[in-house]
Amino acid sequence: MKLNIALLAGGNSSERNVSLDSAAQVEQALDTSKYNIYKIDLHGRDWSYTAPDGTRVQVDKNDFSLTLDGRKIPLEYALILIHGTPGEDGKLQGYLEMMDIPCSSCDMVSSVITFDKISCKRAVADMGIPLAREIFVKKGDTVEPAEVVRRFGLPLFIKPNASGSSFGVTKVKKEEEILPALEVAFRESSEVLIEEFIEGREIGCGVMIAGGKEYVFPVTELVSKRDFFDYEAKYTAGLADEITPADLKPEVTRLLNEMTLKAYKACRCRGVVRIDFIVRDDTPYMIEINTIPGMSAGSIVPKQVRAMGMTLGQLFDIIIENTCVKK
């Protein structure tokens, strides 16, 4: 009997369109001889499935099911492709855990920790993983730009504490840009990080542990043609080069692989995750953990999967087999 999969996409954040693109790619890759696939678009309280005839049907959140042509269809497994809230910050995982529905991603606790950048940094701080220095700022806090520059110099980064795809991130080059950059970041999150600038090579590392096996993907170097690897560079063709596998010294690649696994385990991750680093003078500095990495045609992880001789469909077969277990 085929498994009824809810392919959850959309969401409420600025990354909504990226999520929908990821879902379209994964839907094509999944094996329909094994799975009945129902792509569900979540937008606020609207959780809807669009049937082949164009009819929109709401998910019954009381039992996580759909009713099609008078027949109730239980959704037995959630494949989460929502970047940002509610799919990456633990909210959706909390609902699914309450409903005893297995899912493809990290659990609620791990999702909360990794999505909150300051909590994530604290979680890996004792693992021997270098990190950029930061100042944690809440909305309403007083920030003295001169003091920030004294501590970190220029340039520096200002970013939302809880956001992705570089939304709300500013590379600040002048002291007078600090307060406007904080305003931009606060549009995405009520908490903000002011981080020192680590000059180096940006590296993305895909990783997964499934069935007791560690899958460390070929690492990717991200070479932006813009000032940094921002939203436009990530999702606009021609604005960045992605080199897989990255041309790094073997010992640097080994360090990246070791730190990637350490961070994955420290945050108790599950499913496929991408961890980003800046490599300066052969030393990797961890930037962030992405527990719902992009899966669109232009995303990093699908390219890494192909580079190690696996299809996206095979990757999700492994994920589903490993995570489709009710507690």
In the predicted model, is pLDDT for residue 224 greater than 90?
no
Confidence of residue 297 (pLDDT cuts 50, 70, 90): confident
Nearest to 162 by CA among 81, 235, 84, 269: 84
Give the domain 113-130+199-291 fold. D-amino Acid Aminotransferase; Chain A, domain 1 (3.30.470)
Q: What is the mean pLDDT of residues 193-206?
A: 97
Cα dist. 28→7, 21, 22, 33, 140 in Å?
Answer: 11, 11, 10, 13, 46
Nearest to 129 by CA among 242, 272, 289, 243: 289
pLDDT score for 322: 96
* Tokens found for residue 14: 């600025």
Confidence of residue 228 (pLDDT cuts 50, 70, 90): low
Please enumerate in sequence order all residues whose Cβ is within 8 A of that of 4, keeping only pairs 6 or more positions apart, or say none.
35, 36, 38, 73, 74, 75, 76, 77
Pairing state of beta strands 77-80 and 3-10? parallel
One fold for 3-105 and 113-130+199-291:
no
* Tokens found for residue 56: 């929109």
pLDDT score for 298: 83
Please enumerate in sequence order all residues whose Cβ is within 8 A of that of 89, keeping only pairs 6 or more positions apart, or say none.
111, 112, 115, 116, 162
Phi-psi category of residue 240: left, alpha or beta, with phi > 0 → left and psi -120 to 50 → alpha = beta
* Tokens found for residue 4: 């009824």
Q: What is the mean pLDDT of residues 282-300?
A: 94
Bridge partner residues of 74 (DSSP): 65
The model's pLDDT over 179-197, given as tens digits with 9 standing for 90+, comes to: 999 999 999 889 999 999 9
Confidence of residue 164 (pLDDT cuts 50, 70, 90): low
Q: What is the mean pLDDT of residues 43-67?
A: 96
Q: What is the mean pLDDT of residues 33-46?
A: 97
Q: Residue ranges of the domains in the chain?
A: 3-105, 113-130+199-291, 134-196
Q: What is the mean pLDDT of residues 154-177?
A: 89
Euclidean distance between CA atoms 144 and 278, whole angstroms: 27
DSSP 187-248: TT-SEEEEEE---SEEEEEEEEEETTEEEEPPPEEEEESSSSS-HHHHHSTTSEEEESS---
Euclidean distance between CA atoms 268 and 153, whole angstroms: 34
In the predicted model, is pLDDT for residue 325 greater than 90?
no
Say which DSSP state 131 is in.
B
pLDDT score for 230: 54
pLDDT score for 234: 53
Confidence of residue 280 (pLDDT cuts 50, 70, 90): very high
pLDDT score for 167: 80
pLDDT score for 109: 97
In the predicted model, is pLDDT for residue 41 greater than 60?
yes
Q: What is the mean pLDDT of residues 65-88?
A: 96
Q: 3-105 domain in CATH 3.40.50.20? A: yes
Euclidean distance between CA atoms 76 and 188, whole angstroms: 33
The amino acid that residue 159 corresponds to is: K
DSSP 40-89: EEEETTEEEEE-TTS-EEE-BTTTTEEEETTEEEE--EEEE---STTTTS
Helical axes 312-323 vs 300-307, angle rounded to 10°: 100
Percent of the chain with pLDDT over 90: 86
Confidence of residue 301 (pLDDT cuts 50, 70, 90): very high
Give the domain 134-196 fold. Dna Ligase; domain 1 (3.30.1490)
Q: What is the mean pLDDT of residues 80-100?
A: 96
Bridge partner residues of 79 (DSSP): 7
Q: Is pTM, for the whole model, over 0.85?
A: yes
pLDDT score for 168: 87
